[in-house]
Amino acid sequence: MASIVLDGIAHSYADEQSQDGNTALKSIHHEWEDGGAYALLGPSGCGKTTLLNIISGLLTPSRGRVLFNQQDVTSLPAEQRNIAQVFQFPVVYDTMTVAENLMFPLRMRKLAKVDRDARVKEVLSMLGLADLADRKARRLSPDIKQKISLGRGLVRTDANAILFDEPLTVIDPELKWQLRAQLKKVHQQFSHTMIYVTHDQTEALTFADKVMVMLEGEVLQIGTPEELFNSPAHTFVGNFIGSPGMNILPCELNGPFASIGAHRIPLAQVYPATTYPGTTHPGARGRLELGIRPEYIDLVAREENSNALPATIKSIEDLGRFKIVQLMLDHHSIQVLVPEGAPVPSSPAMVFRPEHVKIYRDSVLYGSKTGPD
Amino acid sequence: MKNWNNKAWLLVLPMLALVAFSAVIPLMTVVNYSVQDSFGNNEFFWVGTEWFEEVLHSERFYNALLRNLLFSSIVLAIEIPLGVAIALCMPRRGVAVSVCLVLMALPLLIPWNVVGTIWQIFGRVDIGLLGHGLTSLGLDYNYTQDPLDAWITVILMDIWHWTSLVVLLCYSGLVAIPEAYYQAAHIDGASRWAVFRNIQLPRMKRVLLIAILLRFMDSFMIYTEPFVLTGGGPGNSTTFLSIDLVQMAVGQFDLGPAAAMSLVYFLIILLLSWVFYTVMTKSDADAAPGLGERS
């Protein structure tokens, strides 16, 4: 078990052909603490698999260093890094039984037979595969095969970390929950450092203590699921996390208000004018946007609150526990989440809860440390 | 009450005609010849199983059959491992792939009698590169006179001609293996041999089965190349069943015995192919769902 440090990792497929196309990683610094459960979240092609393969040693980065417990392992091949990896498609050795499959990495590492058997037995029972131990692995269903691939990582006592590359893609939806719960259990029991790559936010948010959101080879935000939800550092994160995603509207700043066209939205904080050197709106270099989650917009009747933003209803989608209301504010489309039972006024107006209104400058959360300046 | 529409049979008719003309009628003609004797003038006499008994009791037939079996075993024993080995060495990406594939496909594109001619000239002691080269090295090589040399030449020719088929089949099996298998094996610390034994070989099993079956059937029916190269000689040393059959049917015009022999030949190939197939799919069945049986 180990902490993993990425020191300025960058990668480009420019000179070699690859299935991943030319996804590049742009200088990534990060430290994964020993024993943590992390998720790498991002759309397809954002470089998350590349990053994973760099950690496991299947790829050598074009630049930067990988450190395990402060030791530079950048030039070590995969088999010497003691990393276990579970792939998108279950990999089992067809001709072997389930038990033999789990035994394989130990056999390759020349472990004594007694230790081998004991270890395999332990992992088999832990994954609930004991009954299938003598079955040929090839005939089993994808979820069991995926457990076998996981098991091959778990049997190794020397494993520094277990990496998962979208491991639940081929699993039936109802089994996904089971398998994810089992993963959590494994993590609690063995406390391996686990890094989980996925493009599914539910998977990432339920599995990980900390989630790293990536886009086009860059890390946009690292945080707990709650941080990602409540203060997305980037408009992409706001939109990507949450269902439906954050509403993003172009705006301007006017002291304690943000204005969208002729509408004024009160803000919880005044963005200090001193940071804007300039004239009209002093300093608003770049594009300003306002972000608000559908959960944090209240719908009221227009006549009740004259300060609310009048909007017209385009459509209402009833999802049972809540409704998603599509509204138009001038020409901007806005989604609002209305809890079950709450009425939808026929001529509605919106109230944005000020503490949840975020301002983004050039897509980056304004007033946060991560913003470029 | 069901309403039968017999017009549907009309739809089957073209296929029936095709099968009849391509398979049933020729086969029945042979069956017809095999139970009759003919003295020309289109006169035929019923002889029952006489020709079959003659064929099955003739030493000539058994000798040719043994030569066939020996030839097929040698050819399979060399071409299959060699084909697998070459396929493993072939590049997986880049321009080199197309170059290799074209090179591999070349021998397969050459007409069979041309292959025979190429090797006939190649092996000649007076002007052939191989023959002349070997003799000038001081080796006593002459495929037209020495049976062993003739066999070596015929086998070399077959390896040159057909190994690439095995290579192409195996290669197609190899490139179909997802990258994740190699990555997983890498991470599990598998050795090169372990990767071959546990990933590549099992994954190539299906195509290997096809390769073995094809190579067996083809080599067992070999005719053109040795006919052009050695004409069955020296003596009878490279007279395979097919060459013998043609000599009997066209050379000696013994239609009856030739028909009986071709039927026996046909049944032998059918039987051996079936045995091959059954044995190989059986061994596969306990490891994997066989054809028709899927889990």
Within 13 Å and on the Cβ side, how many CA atoms surround A309?
A: 25
- In Å, how far is B275's CA from the nearest CA of chain A? 23
Contact B187 A85 (CB under 8 A): yes
Helix (H) or strand (E) holding A143: helix A142-154
pLDDT value at position A22?
57
Low-confidence ranges of chain A (pLDDT < 70): 1, 14-23, 272-286, 368-373
Confirm whether A241 is domain-assigned.
Answer: no
Alpha carbon distance B260, B54 (integer Å): 9
Counted domains in chain A: 2
Q: What is the ipTM of this complex?
A: 0.73
Last residue of some domain: A230, A259, A276? A230
Contact B183 A138 (CB under 8 A): no
Q: Does A84 touch chain B (CB under 8 A)?
A: yes
Same domain, A253 and A193: no
Burial of A53 (0-12, 13-18, 19+ CB in 10 A): buried
Q: Does A94 touch chain B (CB under 8 A)?
A: yes
- DSSP per-residue codes, A282-315: TT--S-EEEEE-GGGEEEEETTT-TTSEE-EEEE
pLDDT value at position A280?
53
pLDDT value at position A161?
85
Confirm whether A310 is domain-assigned.
Answer: yes
Same domain, A182 and A283: no
CATH number for region B62-285:
1.10.3720.10
Instruction: Give the mutation candidate from A55, A94, A100, A152 for the B interface (greatest B CB count, under 10 A).
Output: A94
Alpha carbon distance A334, A349 (integer Å): 12
Domain at A190, CATH number: 3.40.50.300
Q: Which residue has the higher pLDDT, A196 or B289?
A: A196
Beta strand A161-165 with A193-198 is parallel
Dihedrals phi, psi of A87, to nearest 5 degrees: -95, 170
Is the Cβ–Cβ distance between A57 and A133 less than 8 Å?
no
Q: Does B93 touch chain A (CB under 8 A)?
A: yes
Confirm whether A46 is domain-assigned.
Answer: yes
Is B167 a residue whose pLDDT tops 90? yes
Model confidence over B191-227: pLDDT tens digits? Answer: 888 899 888 998 888 889 889 989 998 898 888 888 8
What amino acid occupies position B275? V
Same domain, A281 and A207: no
Same domain, A201 and A281: no
Last residue of some domain: A230, A265, A298? A230
Confirm whether A341 is domain-assigned.
Answer: yes
Helix (H, G, I), strand (E, B) or coil at A105: helix
Same domain, A270 and A158: no
Same domain, A192 and A267: no
pLDDT value at position B75?
95
Q: Does B140 touch chain A (CB under 8 A)?
A: no
| Domain boundaries, given as residue ranges, for chain B | 62-285
Q: Which residue has the higher pLDDT, A177 or B154?
A: B154
pLDDT value at position A278?
45
Whether the CA torsion A8, A13, A18, A22 is positive or negative: it is: positive
Contact A79 B181 (CB under 8 A): no
* pLDDT band (50, 70, 90) for residue B290: very low
Query: Residue A94: which of B178, B194, B288 has the nearest Cβ?
Result: B288
The tokens 């860059």 sit on which residue?
A218
Is B170 a residue whose pLDDT tops 90? yes
Confirm whether A121 is domain-assigned.
Answer: yes
Helix (H, G, I), strand (E, B) or coil at A197: strand
A244 preceded by a cis bond (ω within 30 of 0): yes
Contact A152 B188 (CB under 8 A): yes
What amino acid occupies position A249? L
* pLDDT band (50, 70, 90) for residue B72: very high
Last residue of some domain: A196, A230, A264? A230
- Where in the sequence is the domain holding A88, given as residue range(s)? 4-230
Helix (H, G, I), strand (E, B) or coil at A175: helix
* pLDDT band (50, 70, 90) for residue B285: low
Is B9 a residue whose pLDDT tops 90? no
Same domain, A322 and A175: no
- In Å, how far is A225's CA from the nearest CA of chain B? 30
Query: Residue B179: which of A19, A109, A152 has the nearest Cβ?
Result: A19
Alpha carbon distance B53, A207 (integer Å): 78
Same domain, A226 and A280: no
Confirm whether A62 is domain-assigned.
Answer: yes
Cβ atoms within 10 Å, residue A33: 13
Query: Residue A104: which of B94, B183, B188 has the nearest Cβ?
Result: B188
Same domain, A259 and A142: no
pLDDT value at position B166?
94
Contact A96 B199 (CB under 8 A): no
> Chain-wide mean pLDDT for chain B?
85
Same domain, A27 and A175: yes
Contact B190 A78 (CB under 8 A): no
Query: Residue A89: which of B180, B190, B287 has the nearest Cβ?
Result: B180
Contacts of A96 in chain B (CB under 8 A): 198
Is B291 a residue whose pLDDT tops 50? no
